[in-house]
Amino acid sequence: MARERIYDWPGGTLLVVSVVDLGGVLWEEPRGEWEAVPLGEGLALRQPLLYHLRDPEEKELAELEIGVVGGRAGCTAIRARGEALTGALLRSLPLGRIVREALRGETVRVTREAEGQVVGELYPDFPEGMLGFGDLRTELDDELETVAKPKHKRARRELTGDFLQEVAEVYRAAHARGHSTQRAIMDRFGPASPASARRWVWHARDRGFLGDAPRERVAGEVAKPIQPKEPERRSRP
């Protein structure tokens, strides 16, 4: 079933399906409902998420809670199991690697079906060396590398009408030349991640600066927009 990625999901209960890309043919399996929180741009992380730290003899040393702070994944709590945790042990913990491991299998892309149902797409691991299998998993891993890195302070770009109009123009020009629309947007407005470029295109479509895509994961637009719309503005109480 065709779905579009969305970037404004607020969190809560999410219907999850496992999706495998078999060389362009998508196979799906229902995985039930998750409680999840937004992560990065267009992703969601299952909650609660716990990581059990063990020694070489498989004795549990600590339980780490993995959550989201400022849009990034990180360790939000550490609880000792059995013996007290020493300062030396805490300093030696490879938290970056632990967080990345914890995210695998617990992070989904947030999408919406034509009927309005919000669905989290979970991409399982795939057999190594199997051509054309699991491209979606590889793309997700690239996004997880970004959200698991320490966040550097950088002003978030304001999605004004002028900016989204420019995004639409760069997108159309690249598509007309047969170039990568995502790369063109990253080059024009960078430094920017692929996830940021996709989010800007989504907002450009949502607000009428770009027409709808011909179909899922296909570049282009079915028709040029007629009347761009400005985002709803709510007054403070």
Give pLDDT tens digits for 36-72: 999 988 899 999 999 998 888 888 888 999 999 888 8
Mean pLDDT of 25-46: 91
Q: Would you say 121 and 111 are in contact if contact means Cβ atoms under 8 Å apart?
A: yes
106 pLDDT band (50/70/90 cuts)?
Answer: very high
Q: Mapping DSSP to helix (H, G, I), strand (E, B) and coil, where does residue 110 land?
A: strand
Residue 48 near residue 65 (C-beta atoms within 8 A): yes
Low-confidence winner among 76-80, 108-112, 211-215 (lowest mean pLDDT)? 211-215
DSSP letter at 10 equals -
Burial 108-141 (b: 16+ CB within 10 A, else e): bbbbeeeeeebbbbbbeebeeeeeebbebbeebb
Torsion angle in degrees (nearest 10) through CA of 130, 131, 133, 136: 130
Share of the chain above pLDDT 70, in %: 84
35, pLDDT greater than 90: yes
Q: Mean pLDDT in the chain?
A: 82
Q: Which helix (H) or strand (E) holds 15?
A: strand 12-22
Contact 112, 84 (CB under 8 A): no
Res. 131 pLDDT band, cuts 50 70 90 = very low
Q: CA-to-CA distance for 86 and 148, rounded, in angstroms?
A: 25
Please give the pLDDT value at position 40.
85
pLDDT of residue 224: 59
Written as six digits, the tokens of 60 are 């549990």
- Largest Cα separation within the chain, whole Å, is 66
Q: Using pLDDT thresholds of 50, 70 and 90, give the confidence band for residue 236.
A: very low
Q: How far apart are the first and last CA of the chain?
A: 41
Question: Which range is least confidently modeled, 97-106, 174-183, 199-208, 219-228?
Answer: 219-228
Weakest-pLDDT range from 58-72, 171-185, 210-224: 210-224
Q: Do 191 and 172 meet the contact criterion of CB atoms below 8 Å apart?
A: no
What pLDDT sits at residue 132? Answer: 45
The answer to whether 98 and 75 are in contact (CB under 8 A) is yes
Separation in Å, CA 20 to CA 17, 135, 171, 195: 10, 9, 29, 20
Burial zone of 104 (CB within 10 Å; 0-12 exposed, 13-18 middle, 19+ buried): middle
Report the pLDDT value the prediction gives residue 119, as an integer from 0 to 100. 95
Pick the residue with more confidence: 117 or 133? 117
Determine the Cα–Cα distance for residues 69 and 6; give it in Å rounded to an integer.
20
The whole-number pLDDT of residue 23 equals: 66
Q: In 3D, which of 154, 153, 42, 151 has the Cα closest to residue 99?
A: 151
